[in-house]
Structure 1
Amino acid sequence: MKNQLITALVAVSLLGCMPENKKPVVEQNQAENAAIAYSAIGKKVMIYTTASGTKLRLSITGKANFKPVGQPVESEVSVFVNPNKTFQEFIGIGGAITDASAETFAQLSKEMQQEFLTSYYSQAQGIGYSLLRTPIHSCDFSPASYTYVSDEDKELKTFDISHDYKYRIPMIKRALEMAGGELLFYVSPWSPPAFMKDSKDMLQGGKLLPEYRDAWALYYTKFIKAYEKEGMPIWGITIQNEPMASQTWESCIYTAEDERDFLRDHLGPIMEREGLGDKKIVVWDHNRDLINHRAATIFEDPEAAKYAWGIGFHWYETWTGGEPMFDNLDKVQEAYPDKKLLFTEGCVEKFDSAKYQYWPNAERYGGSMINDFNQGTVGWTDWNILLDQTGGPNHVQNFCFSPIHADTRTGELIYTPSFYYIGHFSKFIRPRAKRVSTVSSRSQLLSTSFINEDGSLVTVVMNQSDMEMDYNLYVKSEGIKVTILPHAIQTVVIE
């Protein structure tokens, strides 16, 4: 793995040459106004590439100059970007700090800890994560099941987050510091305490008992206040991780009607009563397959919908053998345009250390991110940001991949291709950017584009094919010629 570590360090060094965006914040609609009059002529153009079978990892592979071009022809491959047509506002990209991530991080040397934090959270030298998720008490990626209250404490008088002081909170604080003091930070529960459930077990599903709905809603508010007291501002919450999955780990079942009623009659009002009405509440937090039913059930109840900022989703619907259901997102956006789409979790399952550098894992990230953004998604959250050489720790042996692994036996960091694929988005597309119209003339190329507040235009192009391809990148009536290698991803930055 030494060569992989050297590659990663070289990549971080290359990233360091990219100047950090320190331009002043512009007025809210300036990016839109700039798009209307947008011209790429005379602007600086940099091309960054990550490619299979090469050493290219977020490497600068070209510069270009736009020039006026004529009618595209069918025999050539083209990507068309129209900055005049803007869509959703972007809120960020990031990952989850779980107990597993934090405990693995604590086993690294100080030097490796610093490299890790820089790689994820520095925009100048890393990939500039701007979003963070963490569980409320335990999940499968914890050393064991635990809660913040003693058994049968319906009044929550024993509520105490001391468990998190050892590993999780220190890591989150360091991530916040590396990110410049700002991360969009949201939290999610995997299960209520066992005494609140009909199954009397945090694992294997079960349901929240009606008599504990208020107590469980209050639990969320206590967690938010406890974390904020430690200097970690919470942006929002999801109601329940994977509410239709009875898992071998912490899980809890909510039908669409259950979740609607809990939000409307308990969680929403109690959040407001506790002075937390400004926190964003995200419903569903499960796969794309059933998202439309959940959206209709909750968003068409005005009293429930008023508490819901948006709807979260995962990518695991492919467990059935089918393809990702990206079109379902578009239908939600079409039906409920005032509600936001947020990708809340995705990872590559079934860890196998022989597949650290397995390229299809990275392409799963790239394809999902491009398609999700093009369907209106405003933010994208990976699962564990760090796991060890076993794909854990995980107290129910549900071992998975993360973009970076740490071999705790050697102290080595292992950067997978997924880390770089995510970086092609997170480093260059910044919070408050607006997605702009982008289409490709060939199915082999996927693409999405955003215009940042400072006016820089970012286009990500992914080649899914086995062929090297030349393509024309059109920005309105101006263009450049670009070559993309087989199974590669590129970011073209115009500033």
Structure 2
Amino acid sequence: MSAPAASLTWVVTTQDAAWQPREAPQPTRLAGMPDVMLRPDRVRQTMEGFGVCFNELGWRALSRLSADDRDGILHELFAPGVGTGFTLCRMPIGANDFSADWYSYDEEPGDLALEHFSIERDRDTLVPFIRAAQKEQPALRLWASPWSPPSWMKTNGHYAAALPWPGSGVENGLRPDQVGREGTDMMIQTPENLAAYARYFARFIDDYRAEGIEIGMVMPQNEFNSAQVFPSCTWTPEGLARFIAHLGPVMAERGVEVFFGTQERPAPSHLATVLADPDAGPWIRGAGFQWAGKGAIADARRIAPELALYQTEQECGDGRNDWRFCRYAWSLMRRFIDDGATAYTYWNLALDEGGVSRWGWAQNSLVVVDPDTGRFRYTHEYHLMKHLTHFLQPGAQSIEAFSWTGYENQLAFRNPDGSVVVVMQNDLAEETTATLALGDTAVAVTLPADSFSTFVFAA
């Protein structure tokens, strides 16, 4: 850019005041060394989208609200140019840990022909939830993963893999002899069982398509290393490869991609093992990472630079929805996007106050509903997500924001129209100044104490 930008937009959020437009300083010609040099010529990755996961308890919370309030929330989260503008979302295949309780689409023991397969339960929950979002965002893209196969397909014959936490006050009916272990295959590894499970995925895709809901990608298992008190199933990378060899062809017949994941361990060898398998590797088009899997994503980009890399679930918090966790969530966003993630997925869209699941885990959400009053509020993390997504256009690219003076606390993007978006945190307890440079243009700003700022340099 050879001349000062024509305009600059600035929005600020603090713990006490969210999404406050500020009068932006007038850009000037660069003179001297800036604190942050924005380099739109140094593109890192194209962002495929941002979103949430559609969960049963989220729809239950929203259903407590008036139709106008519920529609307003979905408009705020999904409508282009309004709020967060989500475009790429996740959904479960059957029950997950934020379902009302356990279910699968076929719990008839030994039904390898899937004669009892049905998504009827979803027609009361996930189907209307997704349709309501699609109404606001017709271009919404979806991907899906199971938390557990049908219980009869597993070695322990149960949906869970761990005993309830002591003192949790919940039960899952698991016996001590049914407990699973990381590094084992809890899925029965016979060819007949794996082939039936691939057809289970296919029926899921087909039946949702009949509802007018297209699912463009699947991952074979949520957190395949974790034995959990809620729906879960451990797999080895070798076991996943055996299943993907069955899954890949039936998904390809339907135009659905297969990703590796979701991975929640910092072990690059897991992805490498599946990619090296001649019957599984050719089907893999991307990989998904969450929680401690953030320690593997940079290596995944090195091992397989051709793959799309998704952040698949933001860490969930503790139901307090406080500023402390919002600050931590920003560190996760920076880590994943800096390491090459092309998509970023928040977890719960909405929950009742306290956010406690059927299995006793309290978690955060973008919207909190008071079940006693029928009122709701947007949380700090909602406004943080809005800082990241509101000004980004489809096809936005992550760019280098170079600093050598301790100002490394930002993410920057270039939109297809040439505008540049910068999201910054001032994590100090006092104001701090920073000079941002874009080509020959500079702007000196004073960032409020303990705040998030988004700047938009017009094209």
Task: With the length of structure 1 as denominator, give the TM-score of the two structures.
Answer: 0.84
Rounded to whole Å, the distance in 1 between the matches of 2:265 and 2:453 is 27
Rounded to whole Å, the distance in 2 between the matches of 1:288 and 1:473 is 36
| Aligned-partner SS, 1:43 | coil
* Displacement after TM superposition at 1:424 (Å): 0.8
48, 53, 56: which one pairs with 2:11?
Answer: 48
* Structure 1 match to 2:354: 390
* Structure 2 match to 1:237: 218
* Displacement after TM superposition at 1:288 (Å): 5.0
1:338-384 deviation per Cα after TM superposition (whole angstroms, max 9, x unaligned): 11210111233332xxx33x212111221211221111110000111
* Structure 1 match to 2:276: 300
On the 8 A contact 1:112/1:411 being kept in 2, the answer is no
1:248-306 deviation per Cα after TM superposition (whole angstroms, max 9, x unaligned): 0100011111112221x21112323xx22x3221212132522x121211223354222
On the 8 A contact 2:261/2:289 being kept in 1, the answer is yes
* Displacement after TM superposition at 1:230 (Å): 0.9
Give the aligned residue type for 1:280: E
| Aligned-partner SS, 2:76 | helix
1:218-251 deviation per Cα after TM superposition (whole angstroms, max 9, x unaligned): 1111111111111111121111000000000100
145, 148, 171: which one pairs with 2:105?
Answer: 148
Give the aligned residue type for 1:173: R
- Report matched runs for 1:246-285 at 5 Å: 246-263=227-244, 265-272=245-252, 275-276=253-254, 278-285=255-262
Rounded to whole Å, the distance in 2 between the matches of 1:124 and 1:330 is 31
The number of residue pairs the alignment matches comes to: 433
Rounded to whole Å, the distance in 2 between the matches of 1:250 and 1:185 is 21
- Report matched runs for 1:218-367 at 5 Å: 218-263=199-244, 265-272=245-252, 275-276=253-254, 278-290=255-267, 292-315=268-291, 317=292, 326=294, 328-351=296-319, 355-356=320-321, 358-367=322-331
Task: With the length of structure 2 as denominator, give the TM-score of the two structures.
Answer: 0.90
Rounded to whole Å, the distance in 2 between the matches of 1:286 and 1:405 is 28
1:389-426 deviation per Cα after TM superposition (whole angstroms, max 9, x unaligned): 1314x221122111211111111112211111111112
On the 8 A contact 1:190/1:252 being kept in 2, the answer is yes
- Report matched runs for 1:97-176 at 5 Å: 97-152=54-109, 153-176=111-134
- After superposing on structure 2, the runs of 4+ consecutive aligned residues of structure 1 that deviate more than 6 Å are none
On the 8 A contact 1:458/1:492 being kept in 2, the answer is yes
Structure 1 residue 69 and structure 2 residue 30: aligned? Answer: yes
* Structure 2 match to 1:95: 52
| Aligned-partner SS, 1:306 | helix
On the 8 A contact 1:445/1:463 being kept in 2, the answer is no
| Aligned-partner SS, 1:41 | coil
| Aligned-partner SS, 2:361 | coil
Rounded to whole Å, the distance in 2 between the matches of 1:359 and 1:312 is 27
On the 8 A contact 1:40/1:66 being kept in 2, the answer is no
Rounded to whole Å, the distance in 2 between the matches of 1:442 and 1:375 is 21
On the 8 A contact 2:289/2:297 being kept in 1, the answer is no
1:137-168 deviation per Cα after TM superposition (whole angstroms, max 9, x unaligned): 11121111111124121111221111011122
* Displacement after TM superposition at 1:190 (Å): 0.3
Rounded to whole Å, the distance in 2 between the matches of 1:348 and 1:139 is 14
* Displacement after TM superposition at 1:433 (Å): 1.1
* Structure 1 match to 2:151: 194
On the 8 A contact 1:260/1:298 being kept in 2, the answer is yes
On the 8 A contact 2:39/2:402 being kept in 1, the answer is no
* Structure 2 match to 1:483: 446
- Report matched runs for 1:391-470 at 5 Å: 391-392=355-356, 394-443=357-406, 445-470=408-433
> What is the RMSD of the two structures over their aligned residues, measured on CA atoms?
1.8
* Structure 2 match to 1:13: none
Give the aligned residue type for 1:224: I
Unaligned 5+ runs, structure 2: 162-179
Rounded to whole Å, the distance in 1 between the matches of 2:63 and 2:238 is 42
Alpha-carbon distance change, 288 to 433 in structure 1, aligned in 2, over 3 angstroms:
farther
Rounded to whole Å, the distance in 1 between the matches of 2:374 and 2:390 is 26
Rounded to whole Å, the distance in 1 between the matches of 2:139 and 2:328 is 28
